[in-house]
Amino acid sequence: MTDLLIRGGRVLTPAGWIDADVCLADHLVTSIEINGSDQPGDRPVETVEADGLLVVPGFVDLQVNGGWGVDLASDPGGLWKVGQRLAATGVTAWLPTLITTPESSWRTALAALSNRPSQWAGSEPLGWHFEGPWLNPARKGAHRPDLLRSPTFPIDSSLAPEAGVRLLTLAPEVSGGLEAIAELSKRGVIVAVGHSDANSALAETAFTRGASMGTHLYNAMSGLHHRDPGLAAALLAGESYFGLIVDGIHVAPELVNLAWRAGQERLVLVTDSMAGIGLPPGVVKLGSHEVHLDGASARLADGTLAGSVLDMPSAIRNTMKFTGCSLDEAIQAASRTPAKVLSDRSRGRLVPGARADLVILDADVRVMATVVDGKSVFMHPELNQQRPELNQQRNETQ
């Protein structure tokens, strides 16, 4: 494998921004040298000139329902196409997300995850996020109410990390919900609470049973009533992580700012993107639903939001705009914090020994290049024109 040297960029490290060269070899970050790097060893090295650009940890998205015409609920095998396209948005690792479907779809989804195409390169899928079917019909959002149900015991053995399920969203108030949280947590599945009418007390019980995250804070959950605090209140006041869709549509800017002030270290930027991302405005058919795209949102015919058409760079820019936070703080919510949710110390940081997943950005947070596992998997045409050596690296590693 050819080593990769990214030279001359402004690098985001846990200690802050430094002007440094980043060397990648054997799938890892091998060095970050402030005063310049020697080419590593005697092996072939490709050099990327990053003068005037930002080098940051790869983004990790825990909630992606599809994109570019692929609806993962109806076509789980399309996850590999979505992963290829996600690389252009700076996402280096992600959880393909399956909204409520018949249980037979679980098998299809898990089989698709294990059927990795040969020579494939893109954003790495780390396991499925099953969003449903154990949700409260009163908070169904775009989920089909006829498919919502309560867990049955014993819980299906395929709902486990080793089978490909990394995260599962449920409503703790459904019959057997608390018991399911305890069982799944013991198996190592990350459990998030969402699409729920739980009050604050029940939410706290769910967290003591093993839930560790809330799915898309504010959306499809009980809220912030001053005498009847719901799930949103419990997440803001508590210690659990929470996902947030910062597109300016799902959540008002004022409430994004509130969430940031309440739990900056626990806030996880998610896109909740669906098949409409990358498509022009119009109507698309997704399963039994017609979804209306207007270039900024995706809605059912009755106006219900059906996921988003948000990408992670836009979420970062919006977070800075709505909260006044710095770029490095917003990037942490898209990289290091979601990696913490996954208990994955190899991702979300640029330090020697970390996984060689990174993004090169310009000053406007546009993705210029994405590197996954030490390989260039996306290059912006402008960078291609200016830096032919990155084009060479891309051709040699694909």
Residues 69 and 87 in one domain: yes
Q: Is the pLDDT of residue 59 over 60?
A: yes
Q: Which of 157, 132, 161, 120 is nearest to 344 (CA)?
A: 161
Minimum mean pLDDT range among 38-42, 281-285, 349-353: 38-42
Residues 47 and 12 in one domain: yes
Distance (Å, whole) CA 74 – CA 66: 10
Q: Which domain holds residue 324?
A: 59-341
More confident residue, 14 or 385: 14
Whether residue 357 contacts residue 347, with contact meaning beta carbons closer than 8 Å, is answered with: yes
pTM given for the model:
0.93
Q: How many Cβ atoms from other residues are within 10 Å of residue 253's Cβ?
A: 14
Any residues with CB less than 8 A from the CB of 94 and at least 6 apart, and which?
A: 60, 61, 62, 64, 83, 86, 123, 124, 125, 126
Residues 131 and 217 in one domain: yes
Read off the CATH number of the domain in which 131 is found. 3.20.20.140
* pLDDT tens for each residue of 264-307: 999 999 999 999 998 999 988 876 778 899 988 889 888 888 88
pLDDT in the model for residue 384: 54
SS (H, E, C) 14-37: CCEEEEEEEEEECCEEEEEECCCC
Give the pLDDT band of residue 34 (cuts 50, 70, 90).
confident
Average pLDDT along the chain: 92
Q: Is the pLDDT of residue 45 over 90?
A: no
CA 86 to chain centre: 10
* pLDDT tens for each residue of 132-186: 999 999 999 889 999 999 999 999 999 999 999 999 999 999 999 999 999 999 9
Q: Is the pLDDT of residue 74 over 60?
A: yes
Residues 72 and 119 in one domain: yes
* Tally of domains in the chain: 2
Residues 358 and 285 in one domain: no
* pLDDT tens for each residue of 309-330: 999 999 999 999 999 999 999 9
Domain boundary among 341, 368, 385: 341
Q: Among all residues, which ones are annotated catalytic?
A: 272
The terminus-to-terminus CA distance of the chain in angstroms comes to 12
φ, ψ at 70 (rounded to 5°):
-100, 120
pLDDT in the model for residue 35: 59
Residues 321 and 194 in one domain: yes
Residues 40 and 74 in one domain: no
Q: Is the pLDDT of residue 84 over 80?
A: yes
Read off the CATH number of the domain in which 22 is found. 2.30.40.10
- Where do the H-state alpha helices sit in 238-353? 253-263, 312-323, 327-334, 336-341
The token duo for 33 is 């040298």
Residues 334 and 354 in one domain: no
Residues 179 and 41 in one domain: no
Mean pLDDT of 250-277: 97
Whether omega before 280 lies within 30 degrees of 0, making that bond cis, reads no
What does the DSSP assignment read for 169-198? EE-TTSTTHHHHHHHHHHHT-EEEE-SB--
Q: Is the pLDDT of residue 108 over 80?
A: yes
Whether omega before 133 lies within 30 degrees of 0, making that bond cis, reads yes
pLDDT in the model for residue 398: 41
Residues 332 and 365 in one domain: no
Q: Is the pLDDT of residue 390 over 50?
A: no
Mean pLDDT of 347-373: 97
Q: Which of 148, 104, 98 is nearest to 125 (CA)?
A: 98
Distance (Å, whole) CA 315 – CA 249: 11
Residues 172 and 247 in one domain: yes
Residues 286 and 371 in one domain: no
The token duo for 55 is 């080098």
Distance (Å, whole) CA 147 – CA 165: 19
